[in-house]
Amino acid sequence: MDPLNPEVHILIAAAGRGKRMGADTNKLFLKLADKPLIVWTVEKAVRFIRSLDDPKLGHIHLICHPEEIESMNKIMESHGLQHSVESYIPGGRTRRESVFLALQSLHHEGVSPKSLVLVQDGARCLGPLEVWQDAYRTALEKGAACPALPIHDTLRLEDKSNSEKGLLGQTVDRENLYRIQTPQAFHFNTLYDANLKVAEKIRQNPDTESLYTDDVRIAQEIGIEVFRSEGSMLNFKLTRPEDLALGELLVRSDTQL
């Protein structure tokens, strides 16, 4: 395999339940300008693959709740994406577990250790193509990458020493703080090995599960250096009803997504 032109496997985490969205179903089934959120995400993944020097090296895998695989498949078919998604992988209890199950599935299929893996939030569907491309280029050059944006808001801690809830305390220095996004990109072997180690650590101490909120944290567990790639304010995760409303405004405007 050409190290400068490796296979690329995109893992789209789509097994969430949408509690903060207030939905009684997977929020990725909710529609944005008449298309489910997951369709927007898969379409962006397809655009990224088509931008590769050799699009045949790109593969898309949807990580789904086991009971929703059939529904996801039907949605892809109804939007002409049935040939774009290579596999539907049953997810687990947490995002970390779901991604690990997907990595295990690829490992059993014999995916090259030198492949690149891009892990994408299913609900982060409006980010510009350039975010994907820069994460890919940065991972090729430096080994691992994560889109990130500097924090511009003033940050303060809540004063927990006071019995009155909501009391603001000290300001947090924001100079070196970044807002983390996806897709996060890694070489397959490093992300797989990191997940093996973290899974064993959690098996021994389940209370550590909450420490691993994204793949960057998992990769760092085995000493992988993850470098910042370009993020975008448009690459926000649709989590709450107001995010859906904002997304609707963006896709119906002339905003370049």
- % of residues, the chain, pLDDT over 90: 82
Q: What is the pTM of this model?
A: 0.93
CA distances from 78 to 35, 36, 112, 113 (A): 10, 11, 32, 34
pLDDT band at 234 (very low <50, low <70, confident <90, very high): very high
What is residue 10's predicted lDDT score, i.e. its pLDDT?
98
CA distances from 196 to 84, 92, 103, 106, 138 (A): 29, 15, 10, 14, 24
In the predicted model, what is the mean pLDDT of residues 90-119? 96
What is residue 67's predicted lDDT score, i.e. its pLDDT?
94
Average pLDDT of the residues of the chain: 93
Say which residue, 256 or 11, is predicted with more confidence. Answer: 11
In the predicted model, what is the mean pLDDT of residues 133-146? 97
DSSP 108: H
Alpha-carbon span 253 to 238, nearest angstrom: 17
- The position carrying tokens 């491309």 is 133
Say which residue, 16 or 57, is predicted with more confidence. Answer: 57
- % of residues, the chain, pLDDT over 70: 95
What is residue 175's predicted lDDT score, i.e. its pLDDT?
87
Q: pLDDT, tens digit, for every residue of 173-231? A: 888 899 999 999 999 999 999 999 999 999 999 999 999 999 999 999 999 999 999 99
Pairing of β 35-36 and β 168-172: unpaired
Query: Where does the chain have alpha helices with state H?
Result: 37-50, 69-78, 95-108, 129-142, 188-204, 215-220, 241-251
Task: Say whether pLDDT at 164 is over 90.
Answer: no
For residue 19, what are its two tokens? Answer: 């509690």
Q: pLDDT, tens digit, for every residue of 245-255? A: 999 999 888 66
pLDDT band at 22 (very low <50, low <70, confident <90, very high): low
Alpha-carbon span 227 to 216, nearest angstrom: 9
What is residue 131's predicted lDDT score, i.e. its pLDDT?
98
What is residue 162's predicted lDDT score, i.e. its pLDDT?
74
What is residue 16's predicted lDDT score, i.e. its pLDDT?
73
Set out the domains of the chain in order of their start, with CATH numbers: 8-147+180-251 (3.90.550.10)
pLDDT band at 5 (very low <50, low <70, confident <90, very high): confident
In the predicted model, what is the mean pLDDT of residues 10-29? 80
pLDDT band at 239 (very low <50, low <70, confident <90, very high): very high
Q: pLDDT, tens digit, for every residue of 26-66? A: 899 999 988 999 999 999 999 999 999 999 999 999 999 99
Residue type, position 151, single letter: I
